[in-house]
Homo-oligomer: A and B are copies of this chain.
Amino acid sequence: MADINSQFEIGVTTGPIRGSRKIHVGDRKVAMREIDLEPSAGEPPVRVYDTSGPYTDPEAKIDIRAGLAALRREWQLERGDVEEYDAREIKPEDNGQLGPDRSGGVPAFPNVARRVLRAKPGKNLSQMHYARAGIITPEMEYVAERENLGRAALKDVDRDGGQSWGAEIPDYVTPEFVRDEVARGRAIIPSNVNHPECEPMAIGRNFLVKINANIGNSAVASDVANEVDKMVWSIRWGADTVMDLSTGRNIHDTREWIIRNSPVPIGTVPIYQALEKVGGIAEDLTWEIFRDTLIEQAEQGVDYFTIHAGVRLPYVPMTAKRVTGIVSRGGSIMAKWCLSHHKESFLYEKFDEITEICKAYDIAYSLGDGLRPGSIADANDEAQFAELYTLGELTKRAWEQDVQVMIEGPGHVPMHKIKENMDKQLEACGEAPFYTLGPLVTDIAPGYDHITSGIGAAQIGWYGTAMLCYVTPKEHLGLPDRDDVKVGVVTYKLAAHAADLAKGHPAAKVRDDALSKARFEFRWRDQFNLSLDPDTAEQYHDQTLPAEGAKTAHFCSMCGPKFCSMKITQEVRDFAAKQNSDSYLASENIKRETPPEARENAEEGMEEMSRRYKEGGDLYVPADE
């Protein structure tokens, strides 16, 4: 199969991920991927979680000018609590003062809906509201099926003694479990009523750990298909949500193209666009401009808003003595606004009004950590935790209106200070899902910060973080290209999976075991196909052993045919098997013991075996031969 990286159709990457088939499972037709194993494996196909949407489905017709099908529209209308109305007029400042002639701008999305949905007066569209009313929505049913990876038959899978740090991961996820988690605020299902193309997914400590990829157009207008493909490429490799952090011009139009074509929730930081509207002068921001921006994005279908409402005036001086001050863009904007006006943040003051908007469209909060540490030196300091406790206060205020909330976290944190972040977040924010950026566990490896942060991400994911925001190799240095995005996504996918394994998620270990069995049995193709990045795995293998025959050969390039430990192990196994039950009898003796006792008992076992062999004779060979 050709390297998918080079396959382009209608401007975005399509085609199946190698070695896997798209399937749709259950009444809600939940999209998954199924990986067929070689016949010699004698095992059923392995089902894996799939974020890639219709782009990897050969059956699907992709036309980014038309956008994706409105999967959820019917469900929304059936609930009878929405009204259609005329969307706010698009203004020049929405696209960086783009004139009517649109010179220098990206083309407008051709199929833009001028009629949009919101809650009828007095209604609340949030999944949390339904959950608390005891209603199991189709979105919740979809999530339940999706989280089980079609493992109805695997309820009794080995949990392998995971350490879940207080998480309550069930053996099997039911729609009722999803409803209860959402009702309690322990999970969110980001699902703006104006983003019906979105395939429902859950972010919560008792579900699979999720990852987010950031994209953003640069200040100059670029090919809109490229902007859409940044999203398509990210979800192909496993991004569960995508944040559009665009700045400069074309923000509105680019976002429209992305949302209309996105099967995953889209998050934004509205203050970025609001700042563009006031020419980048933080002091000139007003609540009115910000509120108008929220409505603009709500009507487009943004699923979650990062709101830095925890950056309060009195916390700002706490950062003055830091090594790296305030590194969050949103945080620094609000800090500057607060000091300039010497007023409390309007995001904090107007928080309940923002919540009213979220409620009318079912937009989830991602409460931003504007004071997160930007270096190891600043980790877990007073400013960071002062803000965290304010985010906890705001969480409870949002929950009073049944609005979904997650909490953003650091950043740069040395390993010994990571767990404190998780513990304080759980305590301060009532178990609302935690969503962290890394954290990076050292500052000294620019160029490798996908790894320094992947180390921290795996750990905090294990401790209970629900979603991990990826970091690419270009972090701190430049803008990620296509390869950087893939490396970032795959790195975070493996970190999230390592966290699922450590938490003892019953669906996680299946894939590791399948891949390791394939490795042991020299089923090279299965090993490639079961990996997170099959293309790279095969490419690396072929660099050393390009011959097609090597894909089935019972040896690997590390040792060569004569010297392969796995080959020798197989011989050991066959040998052991030949020895009827004796050696096992001996080993069973040992199995009942634990080290160091095992050693002594093992010796008895050895003598027993030796005696039988001397009787048997033929197999026994004197050592000096």
Pick from B512, B595, B625: contact of A377, CB under 8 Å: B512
Answer whether residue A459 sits at the interface, using C-beta atoms and an 8 A cutoff.
yes
Choice from B376, B441, B513 contacting A375 with Cβ under 8 Å: B513
**A390, B599: Cβ atoms under 8 Å?**
yes
* Pair B462/A374 contact, Cβ less than 8 Å: no
Q: How far is the CA of A610 from the CA of B341 in the complex (A)?
A: 10
Residue from A317, A329, A573, A624 whose CB has the most chain B CB atoms within 10 Å: A317
A546 to chain B, nearest CB (A): 10
State in angstroms the CA–CA spacing of A413 and B389 once bound together.
36
Instruction: Tell me, yes or no, whether A430 is within 8 Å of chain B by CB.
Output: no
Chain A 359-395 interface 0/1 with B at a Cβ cutoff of 8 Å (1 = within) = 0000000000000001111000010011011101100
Q: Which residue of B lies closest to A393 (CB)?
A: B599
The 5 closest A-B pairs by CB, nearest first: A478-B544, A314-B602, A325-B569, A375-B516, A415-B502
CB pair A498 B442 closer than 8 Å: yes
Determine whether the beta carbon of A576 is less than 8 Å from that of B339.
yes
Nearest CB on B from A227, distance (A):
17
Smallest Cβ-Cβ distance to A607: which chain B residue: B314
A560 proximity list for chain B (CB < 8 A): 219, 247-248
Q: Are the C-beta atoms of A332 and B565 separated by less than 8 Å?
A: yes
Cα distance, A2 to B145, chains bound together (Å): 55
Q: Are B443 and A532 in contact (CB under 8 A)?
A: no
Check if B317 sits within 8 Å of A587, measured CB to CB. Answer: yes
Proximity bits, A411-433, B CB within 8 Å = 1, else 0? 01011100000001000100000
**Does A533 make an interface contact (CB < 8 A)?**
yes
Assess the B448–A491 pair: CB atoms within 8 A.
Answer: yes
List residues of chain B with CB within 8 A of the CB of A444.
494, 497, 511-512, 515, 530-532
Q: Which of B412, B451, B462 contacts A454 (CB 8 A)?
A: B451
Give min CB distance, A483 to chain B, whole Å: 11
Within 8 A of B (CB), among A279-337: 280, 282-283, 286, 312-320, 323-329, 331-333, 335-336
Do B512 and A376 touch across chains, with their CB atoms under 8 A apart?
A: yes
B326 with A474: CB separation less than 8 A? no
The contact sample of 12 A-B pairs, CB cut-off 8 A, is: A326-B568, A326-B569, A329-B565, A340-B575, A344-B606, A390-B599, A415-B501, A442-B497, A444-B494, A446-B528, A448-B533, A479-B557
Q: How far is the CA of A160 from the CA of B539 in the complex (A)?
A: 44
**Other CB < 8 Å A-B pairs besides A414-B502, A444-B497, A478-B558, 7 of them?**
A162-B416, A320-B573, A320-B584, A335-B572, A341-B625, A377-B512, A415-B499
| Interfacial chain B residues near A329, Cβ < 8 Å | 559, 563, 565
A162-B416 Cα distance, complex, nearest whole Å: 6
Task: List, in ascending order, chain B residues with CB within 8 A of A594's CB.
Answer: 382, 385
Complex Cα distance, B568 from A374, in Å, reads 14
Closest chain-B Cβ to A558's Cβ sits at a distance in Å of 7
Residues 517-550 of A, flagged 1 when their CB comes within 8 A of B and 0 if not, give 1011000000110111100110111011100000
A283 (CB) vs chain B CBs: closest residue: B621
A436–chain B nearest beta-carbon distance, Å? 15
B residues in contact with A509, CB < 8 Å: 376-377
State whether A540 touches B575 (Cβ < 8 A): no
The complex places the Cα of A378 from the Cα of B604 at a distance, in Å, of 25
| Contact residues in B for A341 (Cβ distance below 8 Å) | 621-623, 625
Question: Chain B's nearest CB lies how many Å from the CB of A354?
Answer: 17
* Contact B327 A533, beta carbon cutoff 8 Å: no
